[in-house]
A = this chain, B = another copy of it.
């Protein structure tokens, strides 16, 4: 069956040139198109026909690349998005105090959340029809990468149970903030939200440090790098001013 151009394609004539793409590029193009659709609508509301149409391709062609149908395409799209997200956790070349760097990474994370809103929300909320043990494993891999990156950012080699729990917990706060943002609209500006999350990290670490030597040893040199103008500096001054 030859694909007949849809009205959407007529408006975007360059899409027709995709037909001549080599295998790997076509695959990447289909994933990119799928990601765009999954970003705008929950996965259950996206059909393979939608993907084929938006890619200017026939349904059989999409099946040739993704014989497992929508589930396989969804998982490939998810894997691609997950890799991109993990890349955004990198702080190589970042300057500034540790909390300034953390704030910069959070800005990147929320840019990702906004770009992939519907698909990412469906996944984090769970219970999506496209959710399987495999998709959950991909999300878990991202969480593990976030854990590793944060520990590396903290200069920790082997983290004990309390330091691990602290970082895991903070990552779950970041995710809860992302879900709130997607579910209830952007009531808190992203700048303010990132600032709040950095503050949460500092105080959660401080409250862990009073019970755990490893966390105290990690936190002390970190805070020494902070300036009065950095997020941690401003927070500590404000906490003191309200008598805490």
Asked, given contacts A172-B172, A172-B175, A176-B168, whether A207 binds B202 with beta carbons under 8 Å apart, the answer is: yes
Q: Does more than half of chain A's interface fall in helix, strand or loop, or is it mixed? A: helix
Q: How large is the interface on A (under 10, 10 to 19, 20 to 34, 35 or more residues)?
A: 35 or more
- Quick one: closest B residue to A212, CB to CB? B196
Which residues of chain A from 174 to 225 have a CB within 8 Å of any chain B CB?
A: 175-177, 180, 184, 187-188, 192, 195-196, 199-200, 202-204, 206-211, 216
Contact of A88 with B by CB under 8 A: no
What is the oligomeric copy number?
2
* A109 vs chain B, min Cβ distance (A): 15
- A204–B235 alpha-carbon span in the complex (Å): 12
Interface locus among A16-24, A27-35, A56-64, A121-129: A121-129
Contact of A154 with B by CB under 8 A: no
* A125 vs chain B, min Cβ distance (A): 7
Contact of A136 with B by CB under 8 A: yes
Contact of A111 with B by CB under 8 A: no
* A5 vs chain B, min Cβ distance (A): 36
- A125–B139 alpha-carbon span in the complex (Å): 10
With a cutoff of 8 Å between Cβ atoms, the chain B residues found around residue A128 in the complex are 133
Contact of A108 with B by CB under 8 A: no
Neighbour of A207 across the interface among B129, B162, B176, B200, CB < 8 A: B200
The 29 sampled A-B contact pairs (Cβ below 8 Å) are A125-B136, A125-B140, A127-B133, A127-B134, A127-B136, A127-B137, A129-B133, A161-B184, A165-B177, A165-B180, A168-B176, A168-B180, A169-B172, A169-B176, A169-B200, A171-B176, A172-B173, A172-B176, A192-B211, A195-B211, A196-B208, A199-B210, A199-B211, A203-B203, A206-B239, A206-B244, A207-B235, A210-B235, A216-B242
